[in-house]
Structure formats: C-alpha cells, structure tokens
C-alpha cells in the first residue's frame, strides 16, 4: 500500500482532508499512513512533490473517513515528532481544486458557476492571525523554527527551486508567492535564453526604436520579391534531389520545447 497518490484521487466525496505541515522532506505517505491510521480510518494519504525534483514539499494531506477521527488525529498527531521533526496537523483549508472545505470536508466539487472556473483566489493566507489561534497550541509548544538566524538568507530556502531569477522581486512578493510556484518556473524558463553575464552586451541605441515590429529583418521585406536575387546564396542546395535527401521541410520546425 505504498501507492496512495500514485493512482490519483481515489474518492474525496465524503472524506475529511487533513493538512500535515512541517513534515520532513524524506517522509513518505507510508510513514504517515500507519501513524494517522492508528487514530482513525485513513482513506488516502497524499504528499505533494515537486514537479522537477520530485522531492516532497514538506507537507502532506491525510484524508479521513470521519470528522471525529480526523479531529482526534489532529489533536493527537499535531505536534508529534515524526522523523525527528515536529509536524503540524490541521484540517485542510482548501481542496484539491480550491473547493470549499468545511472542517476538512469538501462541500462542493468545484464552484465553476460563472466565468470564474477554477481560478484560485489569491487570498491572503500568509500567517493568518485568525488561524494562528488554532495552530497556536502547536506553536506554543516549542517550535524551534530555524528562523531568526537568517535575515534574508532564509529566502534561499524557498528560492532554491526558482532561485534562477527571483531576487529582484518585491520585498513583499515572496510573501504572496502563494501557489504560483510552478508559474514562476515556467516564466523563468521562457527567459532563460536571454541570460548573459555581460552587461555591456546590450546596445541601447537611442535612435533605435524599441518597437518590436521594427525588428523585422529586411531580407524578406520585399513583397514584390525583386530582392530575392540578393538572397539566393546556393540554389543548388535546394535542388529537388537535395531536398529529398534531407527530407526536411523548409519551414522552421514548430517545436514548442517549452
């Protein structure tokens, strides 16, 4: 039974999702299953992992069959040291698709009513003062969080995933990073080709218009095609035999590698 999140969501129609935070990066669902199953009927245990590295993010989701058992596990396993780390167990706030959850129980599948399909509202979830009351008991214990020693270096921990370029963000951006973790990665990769260590490489000519439409090369700028004589380097290369030999389309491959 080590394939919980491997087969996707089994059945979350009448289950209560528990969020387990502060779990070690090497803790697997199998390690949490027997731990949570002892306090109730665990229908599923899922640990979100990174898309690139594949490592655990440090939190897991445990779905119980009954709320009373889930509540029991929350009070029992919350603050329990797992793998040498104190975990934090509490009811899930949101569902797998941002559904409305009440005490970890999913009320509706997805509120895809109007034009707003599954747009997860970036609500301020950073250190809620209201939720702090619920998790306060666990924090009051002795959460020796490795914070305090680092001032700005603590970001490197988060930026380790997208530290490629995110240091020029706003000081309050890392706070509201929210769920756009993957989005930042995609955007970063799109710009990963213009990466140069030479600052003088750019030629900021004031006379050159920054208009993107102006960057059109003048080689094929002639609609009448009279200039084609100038750009006929080797007509032999396009010989019928050569094309068949190459068997490659003259059109640039529409490969969207990213």
Would you say 123 or 219 has its CB closer to DNA? Answer: 123
Would you say 59 or 66 has its CB closer to DNA? Answer: 59
Q: Which of residues 208-247 bind DNA (CB under 7 A)?
A: none
Q: Does 36 bind DNA (CB under 7 A)?
A: no
Would you say 23 or 73 has its CB closer to DNA? Answer: 23
d(CA 86, CA 20): 10
d(CA 116, CA 112): 6
Which of 38, 158, 186, 219 binds DNA (CB under 7 A)? It is 158
Between helices 67-77 and 29-37, what is the axis angle to 10°?
110
Three-class DSSP labels, 60-92 = EEEEECCHHHHHHHHHHHCCCEECCEECEEEEC
Q: Does 28 bind DNA (CB under 7 A)?
A: no
Which of 41, 137, 156, 191 binds DNA (CB under 7 A)? It is 156
d(CA 130, CA 127): 9
Q: Does 79 bind DNA (CB under 7 A)?
A: no
Would you say 24 or 28 has its CB closer to DNA? Answer: 24
The stretch among 108-116, 175-183, 193-201, 215-223 that binds DNA (CB under 7 A) is: 175-183
Q: Minimal CA–CA distance to 81: which of 42, 166, 4, 23?
A: 23
Would you say 97 or 227 has its CB closer to DNA? Answer: 97
Would you say 170 or 237 has its CB closer to DNA? Answer: 170
Long-range interactions of 128-131: CB distance < 8 A, separation 24+: 131/93
Q: Minimal CA–CA distance to 61: which of 69, 70, 50?
A: 70
Q: Does 67 bind DNA (CB under 7 A)?
A: no
Q: Does 178 bind DNA (CB under 7 A)?
A: yes
**What tokens does 54 get?**
């594949």
**What tokens does 209 get?**
């218009």
Task: List strand residue ranges (DSSP E) for the chain, in order.
Answer: 16-21, 42-46, 60-64, 81-82, 85-86, 88-91, 101-102, 105-106
Would you say 189 or 219 has its CB closer to DNA? Answer: 189
Which of 22, 28, 111, 227 binds DNA (CB under 7 A)? It is 22
Percentages helix, strand, coil for the chain (3-state, rounded to 5) are 30, 10, 55
Counting Cβ atoms within 10 Å, is residue 92 exposed (0-12), middle (13-18) or buried (19+)? Answer: buried
Report the nearest approach of DNA to the CB of residue 116 (Å).
16
Q: Which of residues 113-132 bind DNA (CB under 7 A)?
A: 120, 125-127, 131
Q: Does 164 bind DNA (CB under 7 A)?
A: no
Q: Does 105 bind DNA (CB under 7 A)?
A: no
Binding site for DNA (CB under 7 A): 5-9, 12, 17, 19, 21-25, 44, 46, 48, 55, 57-59, 61, 63, 85, 88, 90-98, 101, 106, 120, 125-127, 131, 145-147, 150, 153-154, 156-158, 160, 175, 178-179
């Amino acid at each position: 039974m080590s394939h919980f999140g491997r087969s996707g969501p089994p059945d979350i129609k009448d289950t209560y999702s528990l969020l387990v935070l502060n779990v070690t990066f090497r803790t697997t669902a199998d390690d949490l299953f027997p731990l949570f199953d002892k306090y109730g009927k665990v229908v599923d245990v899922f640990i979100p992992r990174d898309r690139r590295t594949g490592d655990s993010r440090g939190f897991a989701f445990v779905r119980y069959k009954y709320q009373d058992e889930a509540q029991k596990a929350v009070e029992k396993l919350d603050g329990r040291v797992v793998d040498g780390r104190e975990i934090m167990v509490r009811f899930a706030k949101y569902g797998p698709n941002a559904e409305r959850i009440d005490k970890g129980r999913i009320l509706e599948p997805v509120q895809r009513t109007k034009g707003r399909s599954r747009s997860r509202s970036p609500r301020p979830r950073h250190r809620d003062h209201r939720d702090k009351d619920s998790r306060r008991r666990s924090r009051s214990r002795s959460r020796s969080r490795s914070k305090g020693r680092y001032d700005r270096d603590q970001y490197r921990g988060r930026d380790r995933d997208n530290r490629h370029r995110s240091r020029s963000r706003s000081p309050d951006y890392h706070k509201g990073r929210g769920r756009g973790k993957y989005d930042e990665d995609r955007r970063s990769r799109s710009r990963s080709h213009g990466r140069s260590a030479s600052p003088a490489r750019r030629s900021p000519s004031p006379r050159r218009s920054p208009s993107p439409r102006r960057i059109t090369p003048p080689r094929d700028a002639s609609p009448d095609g009279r200039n084609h004589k100038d750009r006929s380097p080797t007509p032999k290369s396009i010989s019928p035999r050569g094309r068949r030999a190459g068997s490659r389309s003259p059109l640039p491959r529409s490969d969207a590698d990213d």
